[in-house]
Chains A and B, each alone.
Chain A
């Protein structure tokens, strides 16, 4: 009973997060401008971190936590670097 409830909730959450990542990927594909794509990439990173945490709860191991931490770190660095590029790439060049 308990395992069935938790398993169903985790499966549903995984499906919802997969659809969310699909929406973010679609926005990154269609654009229409560069800042929309960067924003969609940032959303994709956060959704991936959430999906990794749900995987960690599902398997009962803490190894997925480190992967989620790495994904959030890389997402911050990537978004900050791309924003600085969008800000400076057109003006100073």
Chain B
């Protein structure tokens, strides 16, 4: 605890609240991952932690180091931008892979692929 004693109370309070909020969202997402039943329900739960959860912890970290070093410390924006770009990509890839696997096993609980569009009528 080198820095926590040096920052004023008005900065420590939002840092504490934001860190607890982010950790709570991460915990909620992971409990949802453990408790929900099907894969397509479970894929929604961790996105709580990967968007708002890590976002609020990053804001808390930016605020803490900016107050501690008395200058703007914004390199946490790198992680934020990276998470915002990659989370939809990975989860979309994973959901499509799961759908593909379920269709390959002809699981009746997933919808069939969309019907191919009719070829244009011969002129």
A residues lining the B interface (CB < 8 Å)? 1-3, 5-10, 12-14, 16-17, 19-21, 23-24, 26-27, 33-36, 38-40, 42-43, 46-47, 49-50, 53-54, 56-62, 65, 68-69, 72-73, 76, 79-80, 83-84, 86-87, 90-91
B residues lining the A interface (CB < 8 Å)? 1-5, 7-9, 12-13, 15-17, 19-20, 22-24, 26-27, 29-31, 33-34, 39, 42-43, 46, 49-50, 53-54, 57-58, 60-61, 64-65, 68, 73, 75-76, 78-79, 82-83, 86, 89-91, 93-94, 96-98, 100-101, 104
- 7 A-B pairs closest in CB distance: A60-B3, A9-B16, A13-B23, A20-B30, A83-B93, A23-B30, A43-B46
Nearest chain A CB to B6 CB, angstrom units: 8
Instruction: Determine the chain B residues whose CB is within 8 A of the CB of A38 once the complex forms.
Output: 94
Q: Given A24-B33, A27-B34, are A65 and B75 also a contact pair (CB < 8 Å)?
A: yes
Instruction: Determine the chain A residues whose CB is within 8 A of the CB of B83 once the complex forms.
Output: 46, 72
Q: Are A17 and B26 in contact (CB under 8 A)?
A: yes
A-B contact pairs, 15 of them (CB 8 A): A12-B20, A13-B19, A16-B23, A21-B30, A43-B29, A43-B49, A47-B49, A53-B79, A57-B15, A60-B68, A65-B75, A69-B79, A80-B89, A83-B93, A91-B100
Nearest CB in chain A to that of B60: its residue: A57
Most buried by A among B16, B20, B23, B79: B23
Instruction: Determine the chain A residues whose CB is within 8 A of the CB of B31 once the complex forms.
Output: 20, 23
New contact pairs (15) apart from A9-B19, A86-B97, CB-CB < 8 Å: A2-B5, A3-B5, A12-B23, A13-B20, A20-B23, A24-B30, A27-B30, A35-B39, A46-B46, A57-B61, A59-B3, A60-B1, A60-B68, A86-B94, A90-B104
